[in-house]
Each structure stands twice: as C-alpha cells, then as structure tokens.
Amino acid sequence: MSAEAVPVVAPDAALEPAPASALVETRDLTRRYGTSIALNSLTLTIPQGAIFGFIGPNGAGKTTTMRILTTLLLPTSGQAWVAGHSVVREPQAVRRMVGFMPDFFGVYDNLKAWEYLDFFAAAYGVPASRRTAMIDELLDLVDLSHKRDAYVMDLSRGMKQRLSLARTMAHNPELLILDEPASGLDPRARVELRELLRELQLLGKTIMISSHILTELAEMCTHIGIIEQGTLLAAGDVQTMMHSLQPHRIYEVHVLSDLPTAADLVREVPGVLSVRELPNESPPMLQIDHEGDEQQVGALLTRLISGGAIVTHFAGQVSDLEEVFLRITAGTVASE
C-alpha cells in the first residue's frame, strides 16, 4: 500500500470499505482534465459474475473509467474499489485482480502468438516451468491453438483481439476490463467474441466491456450502464432496466375457448389498458396492453383461468433492448 497515492482522495473517506457483494464499486468518481470534466461523479456497482456493458458515445468517459479501475489513472476525487481494494490506496492488490484489454493492440509484430503470451506471463511473474502449459491452455481457450507459431502480424483483427484477451488472462484475474473489444470486428468475429465472453463468465470471471455501439453488447450482457458526457444516465441488470423503462407491455394470450368471453373477463382487471381480439389468428388470441407489475400480470392470468378461459399460451412481447436504450439516451448513443 503506498501512501503517496492518497492525496487526491480525502483520507478518512478512502478508508471506507466497499460493500462485500460488489466486485466493482465506485462512489462519486470524478476525473477532470483542466477545466473539463471527463467523468462526473460516477457511482456504479458491478456484481460478481456479471457481464457489465458500459455503453456511451465517443468521449463519454468509458476509457477514463476503465483506466481508473485498472490503476493507470488517478481520479480527481471520489473512490473506487475492486474486490474491496481501493484503486488509489491498494493499486498492487487491484492489479492482481484485474486483466485489462485496452482499445488498441500495440505493436508486437516480430513475436509469434505463443511468444507474445510468454512475454506477458513472464511480466506477470508466472514461473517458466508453468508458462508452457498455461500458454497452451490460453490458446485453447481463445481458439488459437492452430496459430501457436504464427506471427502476431499475420493474424486477422479478430484473432488479434482474442490473443489480446488471452493475454489479459495470463495472471488469472477475477475481473476482465475490455475497452471496445468488438470495434472493427466482422460479424463472425463478434459472434466468436460473444461466445468467448460467455465461456469466461462460466469460468467465474466478472467482465466489464465497453462499446459506443449498443447493438454490439445488447445480446451478451447481464448488466448495463449508459454513460454520456461523463454522467451515468442509467444502470442495472438488463431485465430490471427493460422492465422499469417500459411503461407498458403487450401480452399475447392464445385462447381455445370463446374469445369475446375471455376478453370480457380481463377488461376490468387492474393494470389492463386495452384488450384487442384477434379471432382470425391461428390459434385465436388476445393482445392485452398492460402497465401493471408482475403481481398484476399473475392476477390477469388467474382471472382468465378462473373465469373458464382455455389458455394455451401467455407471454409478454419481448421488446428490443435497443428500443430501451434509445428511450434513455434520446438517440445520442449510436445504434450503428
């Protein structure tokens, strides 16, 4: 623990421990460059095991946040912890926990893929006796075993990204922070990246991943945070955010019994805004526009069944995550 790093943060405040359940926790994290504010009082929690998508346009403050969390940059004020370790007071402990993939690859063209990993594993202090097996495992994990002896310069962009990701794993960190890893990848390479992230999540890793293109992240994240001009606009788990940001939702109900009778059953149920009968669908269905909570959705189905309707299907329409994003950001986050 180094004492020199402390002055940017009020000493008594910096001693507060982070809540135990969160792997990443920031409180009023602020970074100024001269008079401009790159990051404005960011308060954020990333639970253990999450794939957290950090979404915002260029210049929003994503890289700044990631550099602070990886101890490469000091905050002007505020606090941040990784697994309970303060990024300001315990940078060494934080670095052991975190693997960082920056948004540029760097130049290591005269190295072979395995040499590249060997170089970084050595830098992380992995003993030579363990490195060979570890490198094989990492190459296998990112599906590059067949490129073990290829020069880094000859790899495709997608392969370079995966190699770079393997590098961030060389010291087996709990938390992976990946800055715009999908940018510039073709669709196939993106799918491969997404599968790789799922695999890493299954291995117990927590992943923070940024993008200025929301569709890149929409399908792979368990949690999201949306940032604009240094300010967090919204954050939370994807399900809850979808729910809280959708004022109402359409439920589709397939009905085998008489449709008008079923419709009459639910018209007056609390939360129901309107009921549409679609007798010519196969099977015939009701579309119920509903603004209630989960309890009321349950009551809706109970009403149908107890009223004698024969229901074979009951489901809320899935609305696009993208739609939800656009609602929060008023269109300033790119949708590609």
Ligand X SMILES: Nc1ncnc2c1ncn2[C@@H]1O[C@H](COP(=O)(O)OP(=O)(O)O)[C@@H](O)[C@H]1O
Residues that bind Mg ion (CB under 5 A): 62-63
Residues in contact with ligand X, counted by CB under 6 A, come to a total of 10
Q: Which residues of 121-159 are buried (b: 16+ CB within 10 A; e: fewer)?
A: beebebeeeebeebbeebbebbebeebeeeebeebeebb
| Min separation Cβ 215 and Mg ion, Å | 18
Residue 309, interface with ligand X (CB under 6 A)?
Answer: no
**Quick count: other Cβ atoms within 10 Å of Cβ 226?**
22
106 token code pair: 């760097």
Residue whose CB is less far from Mg ion, 105 or 119:
105
For the window 24-63, what string marks contact with ligand X as x by the rule CB under 6 A?
A: ---------x----x-----------------x-xxxxxx
Q: Please provide residue 36's backbone torsions phi and psi, each rounded to the nearest 5 degrees.
A: -90, 145
| Min separation Cβ 120 and ligand X, Å | 23
Query: Which residue's structure tokens are 């001693």?
Result: 15
Between CA 64 and CA 73 the distance in angstroms is 8
Q: Which residue is nearest to Mg ion (CB)?
A: 63
Residue 64, interface with ligand X (CB under 6 A)?
Answer: yes
**Contact status, residue 302 vs residue 295, Cβ threshold 8 Å:** no
| Min separation Cβ 330 and ligand X, Å | 17
| Min separation Cβ 278 and Mg ion, Å | 47
Residue whose CB is less far from ligand X, 54 or 81:
54
Question: What is the separation of C-alpha 184 from the centre of its chain, rounded to a whole number of angstroms?
Answer: 19
Residue whose CB is less far from Mg ion, 83 or 165:
165
Residues near ligand X, by CB under 6 A: 33, 38, 56, 58-64
